[in-house]
Chain A
Amino acid sequence: MIGSAVRVLLADRLHVAPGDVPADAGASLQDLGLDSTAILSLVVGLEDRFDIEIPDVEITVANFGTVAAITRYVADRTAAAR
């Protein structure tokens, strides 16, 4: 559920067609043009959608480099928020 929401948000915030978000959750998002401003835009979208807070120091390639990484990170954050 988190994974598909992440894909929708990614497409929306990056202004690409949902089909252009790589099907492989482990694929690097850099080819989509996920630069620091795009990541910030995605981050505020995730905060709003999942009712979590994401500290800027945790906005790293390890947490935001792939769909799988973002999904894992958001799952951890939502679990911590409960």
Chain B
Amino acid sequence: MTAAQLAATVERFGARPALVDGDRRLSWDELAEAVELRAAALSGRDIGPDRPLAIVLPNGTDFVVTFLACQRLGALAVPLNPLFTPGELGRHLAGRPVGGIVTTSEGAPGIGDGAPDGTWVAGATDLDRGATGTAPTPPAGRDLPAVYPFSSGSTGTPKGMVRTAAQLAAEADAFYDTVGVTEHDVILGLVALFHSHGLGNALLASVRSGATLVLLPSFQRDAVLAAIERERVSVFPSVPFICQTLAETRRAERAETGSLRLSFTAGAPLARETFDLWAARFGVPLRQLYGCSEAGSVTINLDGDVDATAASVGRPMKGIELAVVRPDGEPCAPGESGEITFASPAATSRYEGLSPEANAESFVAGWFRTGDLGHLDASGNLYVTGRTKLFISTSGYKVDPFEVEDVLRRHPAVADVVVVGAAGSAGDQVVKAVVVPRHAGDERALRAELLALCRAELAVHKVPRVVEFRDEIPKSPLGKILRKYLV
């Protein structure tokens, strides 16, 4: 359990630094105190094992304290992107009622508009006001709900799932046992904690090992370089876009980054160009980690000669079984491409709101079928080569093309639309909308209207970078959209 892991770390490393957030520093003892107070405050607002809490906060002390307070109470935490529009917030919470929503004290504009009736909304720092005492102990002997991540679905509706306290603890154990992070490490908490990459590989990794977590709310090159220098950051979980940009930044060469010992990316394929630039700039290899919302981290490339296997996401973490399989479920030979599947004690067992038949397509006898394509080499290194699902990887985010299409289709001038990932720089993708207008007309004006509509309805990373107008969408004789002709 994350709560038990936190208690053990507090016991062992109480006076050592736990969190650095700007000028604010908390020891493990101080963090435990803040978590206890927040848990008491949340409990006073009826949050508990059967009443979940939505956390709509950027990376910072309040995210960490609120998330850990949920774990302390045995309450389900539903972390959501603070950049979401009210519409996106409403869609994510539609299938997962929560008791309350914690946001920044300024309050995200219009956040209450996305909240279902009867849900309270409060600023994080206001919560503790007047709270005293200790929080109730959660019921024993029950695998309590811990976190509710979302995975993009094929319908434009976000697909949510419960991961339990035991599953989160198993994820933290696997990372700890495999990667060997210790209380002497300093982890940079730059990637979003509301996402499984940041949650597992920054926050949970820190709680499990006693490593210090240095929090940054957004990607600013100077702030990242300054944090690495000042705090002597040793572990850097990241995404390819951030690494490419940092490595291209000339003044990074003058920064004191010798403390970095482990840097790794997840969420999108790592281009060889980025790998080489990073090694030249920072003198450490950039490794790849592979994971998903359903199970957290699954593999990491810790190869001693990572130069030879840079394109690989490595081997499974301890306790995880991995197989690349043919359509009939039989394992592929080394080098043979198939679907990536795994069995992990950290994985959820079902999506919420889906029929047992629909769930059976992804969860088969304790194994999760990822929908990703890949192959293993003779040494068991995994290479991810494609996706059977259609997500677009852009600047470290996953965008569901169907969600963007649903918004664009609302414009009366749009007869048909398909959203695809077009090739961007260094292996990244850009969101591209191919639109068939109802009538010929001023394309520049229509483009501006479509982008304004997207900006009102969608977080900024989902707004198409490229809008192309066509007379028709290419389709196969069976009516299947031929996406490869649209990128």
By a beta-carbon cutoff of 8 Å, the part of chain A in contact with chain B is 13-16, 31-33, 35-38, 40-41, 44-45, 47-48, 53, 55-57
CA distance A40 to B250 in the complex (A): 13
Shortest Cβ distance from A46 into chain B, in angstroms? Answer: 11
CA distance A6 to B425 in the complex (A): 17
CA distance A14 to B272 in the complex (A): 21
CA distance A36 to B395 in the complex (A): 10
Shortest Cβ distance from A81 into chain B, in angstroms? Answer: 12
Give the nearest-CB partner of B241 in chain A. Answer: A37
Contact status B245-A44, CB under 8 Å: yes
Partner of A44, one of B248, B394, B461, B463: B248
Q: Mark B449-487, 1 if CB is under 8 A from A, else 0.
A: 001000000001101111000000000000000000000
Q: Mark B368-406, 1 if CB is under 8 A from A, else 0.
A: 000000000000000000000000001100000000000
Which residues of chain B from 412 to 437 have a CB within 8 Å of any chain A CB?
Answer: 422-425, 430
Shortest Cβ distance from A56 into chain B, in angstroms? Answer: 4
By a beta-carbon cutoff of 8 Å, the part of chain B in contact with chain A is 219-223, 241, 245, 248-251, 394-395, 422-425, 430, 447-448, 451, 460-461, 463-466
Contact status B422-A15, CB under 8 Å: yes
CA distance A55 to B422 in the complex (A): 30
A33-B464, A55-B222 given as contacts; is B250 within 8 A of A41 (CB)?
Answer: no
Give the nearest-CB partner of B444 in chain A. Answer: A31
Give the nearest-CB partner of B447 in chain A. Answer: A31
Q: List chain A residues, Cβ under 8 A from B241.
A: 37
Partner of A35, one of B222, B424, B463, B466: B463
Q: List chain A residues, Cβ under 8 A from B220.
A: 56
Contact status A37-B463, CB under 8 Å: no
Contact status B465-A33, CB under 8 Å: yes
CA distance A13 to B395 in the complex (A): 13
Q: List chain B residues, Cβ under 8 A from A40.
A: 219, 221, 245
A56-B222, A56-B223, A57-B222 given as contacts; is B460 within 8 A of A35 (CB)?
Answer: yes
Q: List chain B residues, Cβ under 8 A from A57.
A: 222
Contact status B395-A37, CB under 8 Å: yes
CA distance A37 to B430 in the complex (A): 11
Known: A14-B465, A15-B424. 10 other contacts (CB 8 A): A15-B423, A31-B448, A33-B464, A36-B460, A44-B248, A44-B249, A47-B248, A55-B222, A56-B222, A57-B222
Q: List chain B residues, Cβ under 8 A from A13.
A: 425
CA distance A31 to B450 in the complex (A): 10
> Can you list 29 contacts pairing A with B, beta carbon distance less than 8 Å?
A13-B425, A14-B430, A15-B423, A15-B424, A15-B430, A15-B466, A31-B447, A31-B451, A32-B465, A33-B466, A35-B460, A35-B461, A35-B463, A37-B241, A37-B395, A37-B461, A38-B465, A40-B219, A40-B221, A41-B425, A44-B248, A44-B249, A45-B248, A48-B248, A53-B250, A53-B251, A56-B220, A56-B223, A57-B222
CA distance A15 to B219 in the complex (A): 22
Shortest Cβ distance from A47 into chain B, in angstroms? Answer: 6
CA distance A27 to B358 in the complex (A): 49
Give the nearest-CB partner of A28 in chain B. Answer: B448
A15-B422, A56-B221 given as contacts; is B250 within 8 A of A48 (CB)?
Answer: yes
Closest 8 CB pairs of A and B: A37-B395, A44-B248, A33-B465, A56-B222, A56-B220, A35-B460, A15-B430, A31-B448
Contact status B249-A15, CB under 8 Å: no
Q: List chain B residues, Cβ under 8 A from A47.
A: 248-250
Give the nearest-CB partner of A48 in chain B. Answer: B248
CA distance A48 to B251 in the complex (A): 11
Give the nearest-CB partner of A31 in chain B. Answer: B448
Q: List chain B residues, Cβ under 8 A from A37.
A: 241, 394-395, 461
CA distance A47 to B222 in the complex (A): 14
A15-B422, A15-B430, A53-B250 given as contacts; is B222 within 8 A of A33 (CB)?
Answer: no
Give the nearest-CB partner of B463 in chain A. Answer: A33
Give the nearest-CB partner of B396 in chain A. Answer: A37
Q: List chain A residues, Cβ under 8 A from B422.
A: 15
Give the nearest-CB partner of A45 in chain B. Answer: B248
Shortest Cβ distance from A60 into chain B, in angstroms? Answer: 13
Shortest Cβ distance from A20 into chain B, in angstroms? Answer: 9
Q: List chain B residues, Cβ under 8 A from A56.
A: 220-223
Give the nearest-CB partner of A52 in chain B. Answer: B250
Shortest Cβ distance from B350 into chain A, in angstroms? Answer: 34
Shortest Cβ distance from A19 into chain B, in angstroms? Answer: 11
CA distance A41 to B244 in the complex (A): 9
Q: List chain A residues, Cβ under 8 A from B464.
A: 33
CA distance A67 to B306 in the complex (A): 42
Q: List chain B residues, Cβ under 8 A from A32.
A: 465
Q: List chain B residues, Cβ under 8 A from A48.
A: 248, 250
Q: List chain A residues, Cβ under 8 A from B251.
A: 53
Give the nearest-CB partner of A33 in chain B. Answer: B465
Give the nearest-CB partner of A14 in chain B. Answer: B465
Q: List chain A residues, Cβ under 8 A from B394.
A: 37
Partner of A41, one of B223, B245, B447: B245
Q: List chain B residues, Cβ under 8 A from A15.
A: 422-425, 430, 465-466
CA distance A29 to B412 in the complex (A): 25
